[in-house]
Amino acid sequence: MNRRSLMVGAGATFVVASAGAVAWKASVGSAAEYQAYTARLRSDLTLPDIGNVVRYASLAANSHNTQPWYFRAKDRVIEILPDLSRRTPAVDPDDHHLFVSLGCAAANLAIAAASSGRLGEIAVAPDGSIRYEFVTGQARQEPLLPAIAKRQSTRSEYDRRSVSTADLALLERAAAIPGVKLILVVDRARIGRVRDLVVAGNDEQMADPAFMAELKHWLRFNPRSAMASGDGLFSAATGNPSIPTALGRLAFDNLFDARSEGEKYARHIDSSAGIAVFVGDREDREHWIRVGQACQRFALMGTSLGLKLAFINQPAEVTRLRPEMAGLVGETRRPDIIMRFGYAPTLPYSPRRPVNMVLA
């Protein structure tokens, strides 16, 4: 579920100096336009129609913001189906993150649907498709509903404050999904060891041309391109400047290096209050979906408590690092998802595709 960032630093300054201000603004769009765009995407669930329920479901966390799903509404059933055209085979060759992403969407869907009067149960098919089947019952206000529109992957430094024991217990309770184990790491020694594994994984991934090409494909360097595509990794969502797409790609090719990226990850992890590791009972699509439900509910509860969260999945993505990461949290099974959490200001939200593009 990585959402990588691009640090252009001095290169951005060079690029700014080399382009006219008017042409620059025309090519990148404005922050005000983008803010209005994300506000519409994340407006309250006031109209309880299926389209708005799906809109809330699609605000779920997902790998590279590919949004690898589409939804199909039938009589008393909403299906979530994998969109395999949005695979990321370099970082996710077995589609693990894709099915975790579907689980995240299922968690949002269940909360939004129940709040709109459509109580239901989630069923997962062997192929990884999901059915939310309505059951008889009264509408109920789900306490995590307001957090759906506010949750984001906040890829920045946090303020180093610790999280109370009571709030950690609330996070654990929210993430309790059968078939998934959550391990919270809050001691600085183990956080430091996770940091080192993340940096090692980042170094290995950035040495892989296929990984870098895939990452570049999903980067959105400015509001205009983010709104046009409705997907991908928007640079401003990591606190970085917006620049024209052509110059962003040039900067990526020439200025994005493993050392600076590793140093950034180290700072981010060192500033975090803790790390959450999710481990499924089995390595199959059903359990990957369950992991997605658990980590999404964890993120929603964290958002309700004023926390920010971000994925640091490199030790789960790089195969040779998985045993060490698992051992660090007392496990022998594959670590599925790794998230850091803490307190920080809100950054710009990521884009989303409109409902008519994801509702079949």
First and final C-alpha spacing in the chain: 25
Is the alpha carbon torsion for 321, 326, 332, 335 positive or negative?
negative
The pLDDT, as a whole number, for residue 136 is: 83
Distances (CA, A) of 304 to 48, 101, 209: 22, 21, 39
The pLDDT, as a whole number, for residue 7 is: 40
Helix (H) or strand (E) holding 338: strand 337-342
Furthest-apart CA pair in the chain: how many Å?
A: 63
The pLDDT, as a whole number, for residue 15 is: 47
pLDDT per residue rounded down to tens, the chain (360 residues):
654 554 444 444 544 555 466 566 678 999 999 999 999 999 999 877 999 999 999 999 999 999 999 999 998 999 999 999 999 999 999 999 999 999 999 999 999 999 999 999 999 988 899 999 999 877 778 999 999 999 999 999 999 999 999 999 999 999 999 999 999 999 999 999 999 999 999 999 999 999 999 999 999 999 999 999 999 999 999 888 999 999 999 999 999 999 999 999 999 999 999 999 999 999 999 999 999 999 999 999 999 999 999 999 999 999 999 999 999 999 999 999 999 999 999 999 999 999 999 998
The pLDDT, as a whole number, for residue 21 is: 63
What is the model's pTM?
Answer: 0.93
DSSP tag of 64: G
The pLDDT, as a whole number, for residue 127 is: 86
The pLDDT, as a whole number, for residue 24 is: 67
For 64, left (φ over 0), alpha (ψ -120 to 50), or beta? left
Domain boundaries, the chain: 1-360
Q: Please give the CATH superfamily to which domain 1-360 belongs.
A: NADH Oxidase (3.40.109.10)
Could you count the other beta carbons within 10 Å of the beta carbon of residue 273? Answer: 21
